[in-house]
Structure 1
Amino acid sequence: MNAQQQILQKPKLLPVLLLRGYVPESGGGKQLAGSLINLPVEEARKVVKLGIAERADDF
């Protein structure tokens, strides 16, 4: 597998600030409110839409 293929397979992550506790779909245990975490794009969009987190990037 070359470097370009590895880049294509790596999911893009977005930083979000949690407004309440959340267990990421990838596992790893519950993250507490106030935590700044990186989530895959689709999951980040979902938690922002549901009011669980807010965007923490320079958009």
Structure 2
Amino acid sequence: MITANGRRRMAKDWGEALYKRDAGEEIEALTLTFIPYFAWANRGAGEMQVWVREAAERR
């Protein structure tokens, strides 16, 4: 297992709107945990993302 510092975009509540003006994005700092696929077995329901995006610009 590997952990690293990362950031993610915060989901905003759009209500029932289909479109919304861009009000900027909120970023949250968090710790990423990478678990090799072979070690994932028998862990129950949970999120799994295989690819991780790299930020276009570093802040």
Instruction: Give TM-score, length-normalised by structure 2.
Output: 0.27
Task: Kindly indicate which of the two structures has a greater share of residues assigned to helix.
Answer: 1
Q: Whose Rg is larger?
A: 2
Instruction: Give TM-score, length-normalised by structure 1.
Output: 0.27
